[in-house]
C-alpha cells in the first residue's frame, strides 16, 4: 500500500527524476533575486547601489554629499536586511526538504531502498556490487539522509551559507560602492560620481559573471549598457516632465 502512494504511480527512477526537479526548484534562484553566497551578495549589492545613484544623478544632476551619505546609509540597512531575509528563506526551504526526506526514510524505508537501487543502477552498479552498496548506505540513517538529499534531490548542502554571512557580503558591497561614489562626487560633482558608478558596475558585473563561470566581458558590456539606458531614460523623462 505504501509503495504506490509513495511513488504516486511512477516507477522508482521516474520518482527520482521528479524529486530531482523538486530539489532543483528549491535550490534555484527566484528571478530578480541575488545569487546565494556572500561574494555574490557583495557583487549584487555594489551593482545595485551604483545603478541607483546613477539614476539619481540623471534626475538631479548633482547630489549633496550629506544627502548622499544619508541615502546610502538607508540603502545599506535595506540591502543587508533583505539579503539576510533571503538567506533565511533559502534555509527554511532546505530545512523543509530535510524534514520531508527524513519522514520518508522513517515511514517508507523499502521505497527509499528502491530509489537508491534505481539511482545506483543508473550509475552503472549491478548485481552483488549494487546490493552491497545499497546495504552500506541503508545501514546509517544520517548518511542515508545526506545521500538522498544529494542524489535524489540534487542538493549541494555546502552551497547554503549562513544568512548572516550573506548579509555581511551585501553590506560590504554597499559600503565599497558607496566609498567609491562619494570619492568621485567629492572631486567632480557629476562626472566623478558617474565614472565611479560605471566602474563599480563593471567590476561587480565581471566578478559575478566569473563566479557563475560566464563571460565577464560580455556581462560588463551588457550591464553598463543597461545602466546607461536606465539612467538615460530617467534623465529624458525628467526633462520631459520637469524641464
Flag whether pLDDT at 43 surpasses 80. yes
Residue 32 lies in a domain: no
- Asked if the structure places residue 103 within a domain, the reply is yes
Helix (H) or strand (E) holding 82: helix 65-107
Q: If you average pLDDT over every residue of the chain, what do you get?
A: 79
- What pTM does this model have? 0.68
More confident residue, 105 or 207: 207
Print burial letters for 12-46: b (CB count within 10 Å at least 16), e (below 16): beebbeebbeebeeebeeeeeebebbbbbbbbbbb
Q: Is residue 243 part of a domain?
A: no
Q: Is the pLDDT of residue 224 over 90?
A: yes
Cell 548572516 -> residue: 164
- pLDDT for the residue numbered 34: 46
Task: Classify residue 97: in a domain, yes or no.
Answer: yes
In a domain, 158, yes or no: yes
| Percent of the chain whose pLDDT exceeds 90 | 25
Q: Note the pLDDT of residue 206.
A: 92
For residue 85, tell me if it sits in a domain: yes
DSSP 8-state secondary structure symbol assigned to residue 126: -
pLDDT single digits (tens) 148-177: 777 766 666 655 678 888 899 999 999 999
| Structural domain total, the chain | 1
33 in a domain, yes or no?
no
242 vs 9, more confident: 242
CB atoms within 10 A of CB 11: 11
For residue 164, the enclosing domain spans 2-22+39-238
Question: What is residue 214's DSSP assignment?
Answer: S
pLDDT digits (tens, 9 = 90+) for 189-219: 778 888 999 999 999 999 988 888 889 999 9
Output the pLDDT for position 156.
65
For residue 63, with 0-12 CB atoms within 10 Å meaning exposed, 13-18 middle and 19 or more buried, which class applies? buried
Tell me which residue has cell 548485481.
127
Amino acid at each position: 500500500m505504501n509503495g504506490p502512494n509513495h511513488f504516486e504511480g511512477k516507477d522508482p527512477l521516474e520518482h527520482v527524476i521528479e524529486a530531482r526537479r523538486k530539489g532543483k526548484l528549491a535550490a534555484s534562484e527566484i528571478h530578480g533575486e541575488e545569487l546565494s553566497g556572500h561574494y555574490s551578495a557583495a557583487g549584487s549589492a555594489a551593482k545595485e547601489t551604483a545603478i541607483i545613484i546613477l539614476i539619481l544623478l540623471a534626475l538631479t544632476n548633482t547630489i549633496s554629499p550629506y544627502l548622499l551619505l544619508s541615502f546610502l546609509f538607508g540603502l545599506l540597512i535595506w540591502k543587508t536586511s533583505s539579503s539576510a531575509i533571503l538567506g533565511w528563506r533559502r534555509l527554511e526551504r532546505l530545512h523543509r526538504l530535510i524534514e520531508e526526506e527524513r519522514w520518508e526514510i522513517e515511514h517508507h524505508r523499502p521505497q527509499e531502498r528502491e530509489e537508491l537501487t534505481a539511482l545506483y543502477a543508473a550509475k552503472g552498479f549491478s548485481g552483488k556490487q549494487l546490493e552491497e552498496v545499497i546495504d552500506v548506505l541503508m545501514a546509517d540513517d544520517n548518511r542515508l539522509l545526506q545521500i538522498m538529499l544529494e542524489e535524489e534531490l540534487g542538493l549541494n548542502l555546502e552551497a547554503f551559507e549562513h544568512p548572516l554571512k550573506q548579509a555581511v557580503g551585501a553590506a560590504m558591497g554597499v559600503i565599497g560602492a558607496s566609498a567609491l561614489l562619494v570619492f568621485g562626487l567629492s572631486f567632480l560633482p557629476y562626472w566623478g560620481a558617474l565614472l565611479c558608478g560605471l566602474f563599480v558596475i563593471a567590476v561587480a558585473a565581471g566578478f559575478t559573471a566569473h563566479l557563475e563561470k560566464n563571460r565577464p566581458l560580455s556581462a560588463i558590456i551588457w550591464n553598463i549598457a543597461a545602466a546607461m539606458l536606465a539612467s538615460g531614460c530617467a534623465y529624458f523623462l525628467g526633462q520631459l516632465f520637469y524641464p
